[in-house]
A and B are shown apart, each in its own frame.
Chain A
Amino acid sequence: MIVAGIDAGSTTVKVTLYDGTRMESWLGLAGWNPRAEATALLGQAVANWDTDLEGLGYIIGTGYGRVNLPFVSKSMTEITCHAKGAAFLYPGVGTVIDIGGQDAKAIRVDGNGKVSDFIMNDKCAAGTGRFMQVMANALGLDVVDMAQMELLPGEEVCTINSMCTVFAESEVIGLLNQGYSRQAIMAGIYQSIASRIATMAATVCPQSAIVFTGGVSQNVWLCSALENKLNMPVIVPDRAVFAGAIGAALYAWDEVTK
């Protein structure tokens, strides 16, 4: 029996296939037609495993696009799925911090990967992947270049005061015009996001181990800024980007084996 978890996020789509022992994940961009991208990615995944959609015993959809996936057996929220996925990737996790394309969450997890409390950002993009993307754009960088920028020895970090994406972008442009380096501004942006996330996480009283999931977890600078603000080690497991899809696949597996 093969099951699938699909995490149709705001920016990327992730698919995980699982048969009780073997697990594999695929990633694609959500683009302007997330439903078609999700369908194509799932098609590619099942073809890789020499099967087809009919060969799947159960499919759980999660993420923003979960409401618009015609082939899923059931949909669940990304909050529940990220908790389950993080507990699989890092047994003993106490708190998950998931930062995706347009939202950020802090999730308290019990020993079984079940959510015991959570907080999610409001409709504002502060502290999310979108926020980073807009800042990177203002600096003429893409998200990958951004992660490769390093402060020069002795260079001071700029302060970004605004949490609002639009105001912060103006602030960044202002700093560029004052002659600050891109890496100094970028470091300031990481500080700003990390503060925002740490403050949000504080409302659920984060417990270790802290596991960082979602696309933004791939940025090592943000990860270390977050460690500083939380004053706790932050773990980014392999496949942290796939935590939601993995959690969905594990819940799908529970459905067929219960």
Chain B
Amino acid sequence: MSDPVTLLKKAKEGGKKIVGFYCVFAPQELILAADALGFALCATKEEPIADGEKTLPRNFCALIKSSYGFAVTDKCPYFLYSDLIIGETTCDGKKKMFELMSDFKPVHVMKLPQSYLDDNDKLYWLSEVEKLKSVLETTLDVKITEEGLVKAIRVLNEERLLMQELAGLMKADPVPVSGQDLLKLMWGRNFTFDRAQFAEQMKEMIRDVKEIIASGKGAFPKGAKRVIVTGVPTGVGAEKVIKIIEDCGAAVVYIENCAGMKQFVTLVDETKAPMEAIAEKYLNTPCSCMSPNPRRMEILDQLVEEYQADGVVDIVWQGCHTYNVESRVLKDSLKKNSNTQFLHIETDYSQGDAEQIKTRVQAFLEMMN
């Protein structure tokens, strides 16, 4: 019953429209207000990469090759059943990949500005969000009303607050749950059919975690080294480095990237006009594709303090130039502001370098003694 193919088929038969997107810049409120199901399709598995490489250059990042491999082979049911794909120009690789994808699927690409700081960029992004609204209305044959948007904002803000509450519980020592378990829950949100049900699950999880904290137990012994993970998305299937960190005995107390908390830290302002407020929230995403990206540095300074982190691990996929360059900026910023230990790991979806990464992570943890 609960397998995605069956659920997707049933939803389609019931007249539901399905929208796939690739990035946390895609305004999910619009999809919800269009009464469609939205799924994040950024792929995290190694298997489809070979199919991706039939078309894409080998030195592209694993995420793009895996996503394209899934799409082109119809192996991802969420992609297969999507009525529309929303692409985002977060990097050159993805931008060109969406061009190829549009040959076999209806794709609408949202063109991001290069910065979230300037007023003209904000205005321009609002026009892109407006354009998406009309594309959704035409393609899905629906009307997105102001009332629908207000409701969608409320639903997703509530989810964001629940995510924030759950993540905040990781400030406890001992850490109540492992970073890997937290990741699974956040990942599950990408494939939610019923938002109310998901909110209930979240509340239940928060209750459970509070109980664990009250009992004094935890996933790691009290005093275990506390690590914040940042960088590229590290969804389930691509959690290699997070697993290595935790296997080495340190707790991943916060996952800052797009597979983690990045999209949940800011709410859509409910006091503003819905479209402006939505555009504002999404453009504020502290992604390395924005230049410059001071918000990411500020957020990490704050997180290191709040979560009492002993170190920050920046995970970067080979071929992801913007995160790779920004690693240096982040390292210097953390050193200057809090002298926090920093480790940059450049890797891909394969397991070939697991032992080398383990040595690096262990040495990194030994530095904290």
**CB-CB contacts of A98-125 with B at 8 A, as 1s and 0s?**
0000010000000000111010101100
Q: Give 27 pairs: A residue, B residue, CB < 8 Å, sorted on A.
A: A76-B362, A76-B366, A77-B359, A77-B363, A77-B366, A79-B359, A79-B360, A79-B363, A79-B366, A80-B363, A80-B366, A80-B367, A114-B367, A115-B363, A115-B366, A116-B367, A118-B360, A118-B363, A120-B359, A120-B360, A120-B363, A122-B346, A122-B353, A122-B356, A123-B352, A123-B353, A123-B356
- Chain A interface residue count, CB cutoff 8 Å, equals 13
CB distance from A131 to the nearest CB of B (A): 16
What residues of A have a CB within 8 angstroms of the CB of B367 in the complex?
Answer: 80, 114-116
Q: From A115, which residue of chain B is reached at the shortest CB distance?
A: B367
B interface bracket (residues with beta carbon within 8 Å of A): 10 to 19
Which of chain A's residues 49-80 have a Cβ closer than 8 Å to chain B?
Answer: 76-80
Not counting A77-B359, A120-B359, A122-B353, a sample of 6 additional A-B residue pairs whose C-beta atoms are within 8 angstroms of each other reads: A77-B362, A79-B363, A80-B363, A80-B367, A103-B356, A116-B367
Which of chain B's residues 91-137 have a Cβ closer than 8 Å to chain A?
Answer: none
Q: From B352, which residue of chain A is reached at the shortest CB distance?
A: A123
Which of B346, B352, B353, B359 has a CB less than 8 Å from the CB of A78? B359
What residues of B have a CB within 8 angstroms of the CB of A122 in the complex?
Answer: 346, 353, 356
**CB-CB contacts of B340-364 with A at 8 A, as 1s and 0s?**
0000001000001100100110110
CB distance from A97 to the nearest CB of B (A): 15
**CB-CB contacts of A176-219 with B at 8 A, as 1s and 0s?**
00000000000000000000000000000000000000000000
What residues of A have a CB within 8 angstroms of the CB of B352 in the complex?
Answer: 123
What residues of B have a CB within 8 angstroms of the CB of A118 in the complex?
Answer: 360, 363
CB distance from B248 to the nearest CB of A (A): 10
Q: From B342, which residue of chain A is reached at the shortest CB distance?
A: A117
CB distance from A35 to the nearest CB of B (A): 16
Task: Give Cα A79–Cα B362 distance, bound, in whole angstroms.
Answer: 9
CB distance from A217 to the nearest CB of B (A): 20
Q: From B331, which residue of chain A is reached at the shortest CB distance?
A: A117
CB distance from A76 to the nearest CB of B (A): 6
What residues of A have a CB within 8 angstroms of the CB of B362 in the complex?
Answer: 76-77
CB-based closest 7 A-B pairs: A79-B363, A77-B363, A80-B366, A123-B353, A77-B362, A115-B367, A77-B359
What residues of A have a CB within 8 angstroms of the CB of B356 in the complex?
Answer: 103, 120, 122-123
CB distance from B345 to the nearest CB of A (A): 10
Q: From B318, which residue of chain A is reached at the shortest CB distance?
A: A122
Q: From B346, which residue of chain A is reached at the shortest CB distance?
A: A122
What residues of B have a CB within 8 angstroms of the CB of A79 in the complex?
Answer: 359-360, 363, 366
Task: Give Cα A76–Cα B366 distance, bound, in whole angstroms.
Answer: 8
Task: Give Cα A103–Cα B359 distance, bound, in whole angstroms.
Answer: 11
Which of chain B's residues 3-60 have a Cβ closer than 8 Å to chain A?
Answer: none
What residues of A have a CB within 8 angstroms of the CB of B346 in the complex?
Answer: 122
